[in-house]
Amino acid sequence: MGHTEGHLLRKKTTRSADVAFFLFGDFLEEVQEFRMIISDMDISDLRRQLKIHYRCQPNSTEEQKRGAIAIIFLLTRHFPHQFGDWKELIKENEQGDLERLLQSSLATEIEKSKEKMPRAAQVSNLLPPPQALYFDRSVDKLLAMFSKTDKEKGLPESFIPALREQYGSNQLPKPSRPNPFKMLWDQLTDFMVLILIAAAIVEAAEKDFDSMIVLLVVVVLNTIIGFSQEWKASQTLNALMNLSVPQAKVIRDGQEKYVESEELVPGDLVVLDEGDAVPADIRLIEVSQLGVVEGILTGESVPVQKNIEAIKSKTRKIPLADCKGNAFMSTTVARGRAKGIVVRTGVKTEIGKISTAIQKDANKKVKTPIQKKLTKLGHYLVALAIFLCALVVVIGIAWKKNSSCFCDT
């Protein structure tokens, strides 16, 4: 935030430092957790990191001056006990420029305005907005962040390739195709099945073919049942993960048209009508009696009434059912109409996170609690059988030895 360039007498902040400075103020204004962290900072550390005086010089831009004034107002307002006196935030020999700035008409204008910090539109070319729900942002703030998006005309087509390169495609992770031979091998190499096969081999060596046939029939039936269950489960999993929406209605360059949903990028202006599936995670900017069925995410079959109001919360994580200003990918519009800006795509969406987690768990082949208990029971039974066999052998050997001694007597 305080990186500078230029010669010793006329140092000025770099553009990247200005970006960080504006983001500091934005977080200070919007995020409760961030304010809690700042409240624990030592004032000398904060003074050294911010270097506010570099943005109050006569040769500073109006944007830098606005940012400096806004930061002072925010710090003194939110932390009256720690930073109530702005002079503690500036070195004594550098307070003159800021004092003159605070007495100017610009400071009066900023103090009266509702939004203190310069909006993110001023830095959006250097730092594209991250993918998030933005449930706590008003429509005006959202449009300022996605500065390339016009509320009526949408995104210009010329920006789409760069945004797609920045954010990636709007695709859910494709499920891995099940390998039937691997499934069959997993069934045949199960611990208990191997024990049964070994027992069948022993029975065959003893020429007890009836017992061998019974054991092999048990092995075959167990393999068929286990394989069919796992195959059905994998097909169900693939159906659950194939939840992407084929097409989306967007406005680009002022024209409403259909595009492949995988071509959507954050910043796209999407139109939702009754019966449509939502093609990405969207922050709504216009609604007309919009009701969305979110059962695929929340389990609720009743349509959720949506609006465009920002939700003020002390935390950045709230239940999905409370996100009234968002529409989520793969949910369905039950009634009404709306327009919204795409804010998350692909694996960053809620359904994308679920699909990724399901696929990760499926690849791990985690055993259920009952499977773990049955495996443990099988180990115990095998150990007990081996112990009893050894005990019988020892007793038999001892008994024969005692019998021979008795006969000699």
Indicate the domain borders of the chain: 15-125, 173-243, 247-358, 366-396
Count the Cβ atoms, other than its own, within 10 Å of residue 225. Answer: 11
What is the model's pLDDT at position 254? 92
What is the model's pLDDT at position 255? 93
Residue 68's nearest CA partner among 118, 119, 126 is 118
* pLDDT by position in tens, the chain (length 409): 555 444 444 456 777 787 788 888 877 777 777 888 888 888 888 888 888 888 888 888 888 888 888 888 888 888 887 777 778 788 777 778 888 888 888 878 877 765 555 544 444 455 678 888 889 888 988 888 888 899 999 999 998 998 998 898 898 877 677 778 888 888 888 877 888 888 888 888 888 888 888 888 888 888 888 888 878 777 766 666 566 678 899 999 999 999 999 999 999 999 999 999 999 999 999 999 999 999 888 888 899 999 999 888 766 678 888 899 999 999 999 999 999 999 999 999 998 888 887 777 666 666 667 767 777 877 787 788 888 888 888 887 877 655 555 445 4
Residue 29 Cα to chain centre, angstroms: 24
What is the model's pLDDT at position 336? 94
Q: What is the DSSP string of 321-353?
A: GG-TTEE-TT-EEEEEEEEEEEEE-GGGSHHHH
What is the model's pLDDT at position 28? 79
What is the model's pLDDT at position 244? 65
Cα-flanking dihedrals φ and ψ of residue 5, to 5°?
A: -145, 170
What is the model's pLDDT at position 8? 41
Helix, coil or strand: residue 93:
helix
- 93, 138 contact by CB (below 8 A): no
What is the model's pLDDT at position 271? 96
What is the model's pLDDT at position 48? 83
What is the model's pLDDT at position 339? 96
What would the two tokens of residue 279 be? 């093609």
Residue 351's nearest CA partner among 286, 290, 261 is 261
What is the model's pLDDT at position 290? 95
- 244, 354 contact by CB (below 8 A): no
What is the model's pLDDT at position 2? 52
Nearest-angstrom CA–CA distance, 401 and 164: 85
Residue 149 exposure: Cα atoms within 13 Å on the Cβ side: 29
Helix, coil or strand: residue 173:
coil
Nearest-angstrom CA–CA distance, 272 and 332: 10
Q: Does domain 247-358 have CATH number 3.40.50.2300?
A: no
Residue 330 exposure: Cα atoms within 13 Å on the Cβ side: 22
Nearest-angstrom CA–CA distance, 62 and 407: 117
What is the model's pLDDT at position 324? 93
Helix, coil or strand: residue 107:
helix
Count the Cβ atoms, other than its own, within 10 Å of residue 271. Answer: 18
